[in-house]
Amino acid sequence: MTESQGHTESRPTLPLLFIMGATGNMGGELARQLLVAGANVRVGVRSPERVKESGAFTGAEIAHFDASDASTFGALDGVQRMFLLWPPGTDVKRDVLPVIAAARERGIEQIVFLSILGAERIRIVPHRRVEQALEASGMDWVFLRASYFMQNLSGVHRDDIRVRREIFLPAGQGRTSFVDVRDVAAVGAKALMEGHRDRAYNLTGSAALTYTEAADIFGVTLGRRVRYVSPSPIHFVRVVHQRGTPWALTLLMLAEYTVARLGLAGEVTTTVAELLGRPPISLRRFAEDFREVWL
């Protein structure tokens, strides 16, 4: 039946996708990509009025949501699929497991969780505890097991490169398979929109580099020398904390770079290329795309 015959053809209703952490790197990029793709998006943020005033996420519903405050969990009402992350430095039992329980109670069908590469092997990391809770939840799950984000170099380590002209972290000469947040978000968007079920995606770039090689890439891109400095773990913790980084984040960074120093961060997979039909973004392209950040 057509509209000209007096009836309107029914159109499938798009699932409502809930994005946690939209004011951060990964959640924000994921929300933006979903909106560009025409998805039905609700973002959960602690300060919805501020986000609305900023004009971010045009086309999305902005809801008040705080993982540590169960009174805000009504933001999950009516949601079919959800993006979840572990807020760094928080307690899994207190700040993540109640969110999973609330999602299950509200009938959410699928949760896409931002994990880390190797979580299934490094069982002491909080990400694995969240994975196990999702596996036992009865909901469909997808784990985005991402390698080290390139965006850490334009975020937490920005001033090391911009002001001190160095990459300062205790990774020794271990190799790291840097991955761009934009690629991880693209995989997450695909999983949410297509409703992937019970899959763990190991997401890396196409090469594993030492931080000496990474510093050389930034030096060429920025047109000035950038050196790699690998301090002892104790010296790293002392310096980074003195610069204002909270203890929880400082210790998380130390653990991350220790994994690299031990040669455990260099795994390279083809998953990004297989899922997106194109090569992963390289560290050189990332440095070029965000060159102004370090200038």
Structure confidence by residue, pLDDT tens digits, 186-220: 999 999 999 999 999 999 999 999 999 999 999 99
Which class is domain 147-179+203-266+276-295? Answer: alpha beta
The average pLDDT across 234-246 equals: 93
Q: What is the mean pLDDT of the chain?
A: 94
Residue 12 confidence class, pLDDT cut points 50, 70, 90? low
Q: Degrees (nearest 5) of the Cα angle 253, 94, 151?
A: 30
The letter for the amino acid at 16 is L
Residue 278's Cβ-count burial label (10 Å; 0-12, 13-18, 19+) is exposed
What pLDDT score was predicted for residue 124?
77
Residue 4 has pLDDT above 60, yes or no: no
Query: Using alpha carbons only, how large is the chain's radius of gyration in Å?
Result: 20
Which H or E element spans position 202? strand 199-203
The number of angstroms, rounded, from the C-alpha of 144 to the middle of its chain's C-alpha atoms is: 8
What pLDDT score was predicted for residue 161?
97
**Domain assignments of the chain as residue spans, ordered by start:** 3-146, 147-179+203-266+276-295
Structure confidence by residue, pLDDT tens digits, 250-271: 988 898 899 899 999 999 999 9
Which class is domain 3-146? Answer: alpha beta
Q: Give, in order, the Cα–Cα distances in Å from 184 to each of 29, 33, 230, 276.
A: 9, 11, 27, 10
Structure confidence by residue, pLDDT tens digits, 70-114: 999 999 999 999 999 998 878 999 999 999 999 999 999 999 999
SS3 call for 157: coil
Q: Give, in order, the Cα–Cα distances in Å from 27 to each of 72, 261, 285.
A: 18, 28, 22
3 state SS for 207-232: CCECHHHHHHHHHHHHCCCCEEECCC
What pLDDT score was predicted for residue 10?
44
What pLDDT score was predicted for residue 6?
45
For the chain, what percent of residues have pLDDT higher than 70?
Answer: 96
Q: Tell whether pTM > 0.75.
A: yes
Which H or E element spans position 40? strand 40-45
